[in-house]
Amino acid sequence: MCYTEAMNKTFSLKSFLEKYSNDEACLEEIFKIKYPKGAFCLKCNIISKFYKVTKRPVYQCVCGFNISPLAGTIFEKTTTPLQYWFYAMFLVSNTRSGVSAKTLQREIGVTYKTAWRMFRQIRILMAESGGGLLEGVVEVDETFVGGKAKNRKNEWRQGVEEKQKEILRGMVERGGKVYMKHIPNTGKWTLINQIKENISPDARIMTDEYMAYKKLPEYGYQHDFVTHSHNEYARGQIHTQNIENVWSHLKRGITGVYRIVSAKYLQSYADEFAFRYNHRKNQAQMFEILFDQIASTRALKT
């Protein structure tokens, strides 16, 4: 697999190794991101100067008060060197369609189990938190993941009959972000609640002809739809092509990189995909964006 091309355009491996040359340097960066205005000493009751304690991931105030920058982060209980973690984040943020745990295992030289766990934690950094409401024109659609359905019409029927198929709902703002939710069913209430939570009441929503969407105007939404069952895919500005592009990329990613994604991990995969999509215009800053999440994201209990 070739990572070199993507890396050259962004944050290079050379700059990465210079900046994060060892674990102390990585810890120092985590300290800075967690305490951008300096760390507060509970004993001295002021923002104090802290010094790194030798051989432990701990900082100490002159009064003897200790703080651990890793507490509450995805690195909290790790025995894997921080530099490996950072390199894993570097790989994840510098590839277009994702990295598998197998690749992480090979690139970092840890066990598959460790690579897989690291990957799970890193994905938490990619989960959209408080991204705000989607506005303007928003396309909404669902897709079934898993199975072999050839087209949507059949997917709907099979979705009812074959319980093993998982459903993702996507909401994409034209020219903006995508949100994706792994949903238990395509019922009206799940739909209405998700739309209220994620889409501005002033937005213009575009969908296909599925029944539940036809209720949207009752909830105050401006709604247009195309009738896929009549082979109508676009009527001027009315179409769902953006969300359909998202689906096809997402599915290609699943088959190409991960082979399969089980129901349990579908949401975390969708989060990873959405993270890449939502920061597609900041490819060069992807690592930093991911890094910035360290302070605000809690570790996953595994």
What b/e readout covers 90-117, taking b as 16+ CB neighbours within 10 angstroms? bbbbbbeebbbbebbbebbebeeebbbb
Q: How far is the CB of 45 from Zn ion (least distance, A)?
A: 8
Q: Which is nearer to Zn ion, 51 or 219 (CB)?
A: 51
Smallest separation, CB 114 to Zn ion (Å) = 36
Closer CB to Zn ion, 27 or 61, in the complex: 61
Q: List contacts with Zn ion (CB under 5 A).
A: 41, 43-44, 48, 61, 63, 65
Closest among 102, 146, 120, 91 to 268, alpha carbons compared: 120
CB of residue 75 to Zn ion, shortest distance in Å: 24
Question: What distance in Å separates the CA atoms of residue 51 and residue 61, rounded to the nearest whole number?
Answer: 6
Q: Which is nearer to Zn ion, 43 or 215 (CB)?
A: 43
Q: Residue 16 CB: number of other CB atoms within 10 A?
A: 20
Which single residue is written with the structure tokens 């209990």? 301
Q: Which is nearer to Zn ion, 1 or 62 (CB)?
A: 62
Q: How far is the CB of 41 from Zn ion (least distance, A)?
A: 3
Q: How far is the CB of 30 from Zn ion (least distance, A)?
A: 20
Q: Which two tokens stand for residue 55?
A: 């051989």
Strands 234-235, 59-61: parallel, antiparallel or unpaired by DSSP?
unpaired
